[in-house]
Chains A and B, each alone.
Chain A
Amino acid sequence: MARIKKLVPKHPLAIRWMHWINFPVLFVMIWSGLLIYWANDVYKIHLGHTVYFSFFPESFYKGLNLSRRLAEGMAFHFLFMWIFLINGLAYVLYTLFSGEWRYLFPNRRSFKEAGQVLLHDLHLSKKAPPQGKFNAAQKLAYTGIIVMGLGSVLTGLAIYKPIQFQWLTTIFGGYGNARVLHFVLTLIYCLFFLVHVLQVILAGWNNFQAMVTGFEVLSDTKNKTHD
C-alpha cells in the first residue's frame, strides 16, 4: 500500500456521549415546546400591520399533530429539561476541567477569521483561514450554542417560576419578554441544527464518524481541513 493510514484521536469519549445525548433531548424539548406554544401561538413577524409570517400556520400544527396537547407538552418539557440541564452542565464542567475549552473558546482573532471561514465556505474567497481542531467559525458556533443553552435554561426558569425567581424574570424584561426570548432561542437552535448538519454532510464521512468513534483516519498525506 502506498498510502499508510493513521488513527488520530479527535473527540474525547465524554464529549461524544454528551453530544449524542443532547441530540434527542433537544429534539424532545423543541417538540414539547411546540405543544406548549400552540396554546398561545401569538408570535408574528410584522411591520406595522403587515404580517409577513405567523408562527405557525395551521397546516404546520396539523401536519405534525401538535394541537390540543398542552398538558402532554408541559409534562415532557418538565422531564427533559432536567436531562438538558444536567447534560449541559456536565459538558461545561468537562470542557473546563479537561482543557478541551482551549479548542472551543474563541479569541481576539476568531471574529475576523470566522468571516474568512464564511467567505471560504461560500466559495467567495480562496484563502482558507487556519483550521486547527476547530476553525474560528466553529469556535464561535460551538461556544455560542452553549451560551444559548444557558439562555434557554435561564429564560425557561424565568417563565416557569416567574414569581419565585422574579429577579430573573426582570432581567429578561418581564414575563412576556422572557417567553419571546425563549422562543427566539429555539428558532436559532433550529437554524444551528440545519447549518450544522449541512456542514457535517459537506465535511464528509471521516469527520462524521469521528463523533462516534472518537478518532479520525489520516493518510500520510497532510491533514485536511475538517468541519
Chain B
Amino acid sequence: MTNPPPPNDSPLNQPDPQGPGQEHPSPERPNSDHQASPESRGPDHHANPDPQPAPAASPDPQPAPAANPKHAPASLWRTLAKAAGHGDDLTPEQQITRRTFVSFSAFALLGAAAWKSWFWIKDAVQSDGVQTPLRKVLNGDDKIFKHTLSPNHLAKTWPREQAAKNVRYNSGIGLGADPATWRLQVTRANGETLAITMDDLKALPKTDFAFEFKCIEGWSQVSWWGGVRFSDFIQHYNLASETQKAYVGLTTPDDHYYIGVDTPSMLHPQTILAYEMSGQPLPTRHGAPLRLIIPIKYGVKNLKCIGKIFFSDDRPRDYWFERGYDYYCGL
C-alpha cells in the first residue's frame, strides 16, 4: 500500500494510482487499451519529469538527471516524494528501496491499526451481554431492516399434514401455569388491568396455519399452530390507542421469561396468541395455556405461557437481549 503520490506542478508528473491501464508494460496488454497513453511511453519521456520511468519503451532505465533542473522551485512535496521513492533523478534501485520501505511501513502501520481496533471491540465494555460497539451495530442493523417489514410479507404456509408430529422443544423457562386460575392480564394505558379467560379468547375468530418455525440456533421445523390473531385481539378489546406505543411487552406469569416486540411486528397478520398445536390444546412444554406465535421472529420471541401483556414506548426488558442477542430478531 503506497501513499498516493504527492501533487506536482504538472499533471504528467502524477503516476495515477488508480490507473491500472497506465504505464503497465505487460506485453499481454490488449492493444485496445487506450489508457496506455503515448506520452508516458514515448522516446522523449525523459523530457517529462515523469516520476515513474516508463519501462516498456525505455532503452535506458537511468533517468537523465539533467532533465530536472536543480534550480526549479523545490517544493516540500517534491522533496517528500523523492524521499518516498518518486523522482526521476533517482536510480531504479533507489526507487525500489524507498518505495518498498514506504509501502511496507504503511502496510505494517495499517496492520497494527487493524489489530488495535480488533482488541478495542473485543475488550470493550459490555452492554446487555455483548460488547458495546457490537450492540450499537445490532441496534443499527434493526433500524435498517425494520423498513423491510411489511404486512404483505407473509411467512410461507405449509399444508397442515406436513407439519411435524414431534414438535421440537428447546426451553421451559417460566412454564407451568395453573389452568384453573390462569388469566391473561393486559395492562391498559390508563393503568387498568384486563383479566381475560381462555373461554373469552376462544370466543374470538380462530386463525391457524403451519409455517417453518425458525430457532436462533439455526434449526427450523414446520409446525402447525392455532389461536387468535393478535390484531383481532387488539380490535376486540379496544386496545388500538395502546398500540400507538412502540413496543409490546409479554412475560410468563412468574416473570421468569420476558420479551419485548416492536408493535408493527405484533400487528403482523400472522402473529397469533396460540392455544393449539397440531390441532390439539397446547401441551405444557409448548406453553400451555397460551403462547405467542410470531413467524416473523426467531423462536426466542415466541414466548410460551403468556401471563401478562403491556404496552410501552421504551423497549420492555427481554431475556435473550440481556444475554447478548439482538433485540429485534426480525426474519
Q: Flag whether B296 is at the interface (Cβ < 8 A).
A: yes
Enumerate chain B residues within 8 angstroms of A20, measured Cβ to Cβ: 1, 107, 110
Q: Give the contact stretch, choosing among A33-41, A46-54, A185-193.
A: A33-41
CA distance A118 to B114 in the complex (A): 36
The reply to whether B141 and A78 contact each other, CB–CB distance below 8 Å, is: yes
Q: How large is the interface on B (under 10, 10 to 19, 20 to 34, 35 or more residues)?
A: 35 or more
CA distance A98 to B103 in the complex (A): 22
Q: Flag whether A198 is at the interface (Cβ < 8 A).
A: no
Enumerate chain A residues within 8 angstroms of B138, measured Cβ to Cβ: 75, 78
The reply to whether A161 and B148 contact each other, CB–CB distance below 8 Å, is: yes
Interface members, chain B 4-60 (any A CB < 8 Å) = 4, 15, 17-30, 33, 35, 52-53, 55
Residue of B nearest to A36 (CB): B218
User: Given A39-B217, A212-B104, is A13 in contact with B95 using a C-beta cutoff of 8 Å?
Assistant: no
CA distance A8 to B55 in the complex (A): 7
CA distance A65 to B331 in the complex (A): 28
Interface string of A156-178 (1 = CB under 8 A from B): 00000111111000000001100
CA distance A16 to B107 in the complex (A): 10
B92 to chain A, nearest CB (A): 5
The reply to whether A14 and B61 contact each other, CB–CB distance below 8 Å, is: no
The reply to whether A7 and B55 contact each other, CB–CB distance below 8 Å, is: yes
User: Given A7-B52, A99-B33, A163-B154, is A13 in contact with B130 using a C-beta cutoff of 8 Å?
Assistant: no
Enumerate chain B residues within 8 angstroms of A220, measured Cβ to Cβ: 61
The reply to whether A98 and B107 contact each other, CB–CB distance below 8 Å, is: no
Enumerate chain B residues within 8 angstroms of A72, measured Cβ to Cβ: 130-131, 134, 324
Enumerate chain A residues within 8 angstroms of B295, measured Cβ to Cβ: 163
Interface string of A117-132 (1 = CB under 8 A from B): 0000000000000111
B185 to chain A, nearest CB (A): 30
The reply to whether B17 and A133 contact each other, CB–CB distance below 8 Å, is: no
The reply to whether B52 and A9 contact each other, CB–CB distance below 8 Å, is: yes
User: Given A40-B217, A163-B153, is A132 in contact with B331 using a C-beta cutoff of 8 Å?
Assistant: no
Residue of A nearest to B268 (CB): A163
A225 to chain B, nearest CB (A): 11
Residue of B nearest to A15 (CB): B20
Enumerate chain B residues within 8 angstroms of A6, measured Cβ to Cβ: 53, 55, 61, 92
The reply to whether A13 and B4 contact each other, CB–CB distance below 8 Å, is: yes
CA distance A40 to B92 in the complex (A): 57
Q: Flag whether A213 is at the interface (Cβ < 8 A).
A: yes
B321 to chain A, nearest CB (A): 10
CA distance A162 to B20 in the complex (A): 40
Residue of B nearest to A11 (CB): B20
B4 to chain A, nearest CB (A): 7
The reply to whether B53 and A7 contact each other, CB–CB distance below 8 Å, is: yes
Q: Flag whether A86 is at the interface (Cβ < 8 A).
A: no
Interface members, chain B 124-163 (any A CB < 8 Å) = 129-131, 133-135, 137-138, 141, 145, 148-150, 153-156
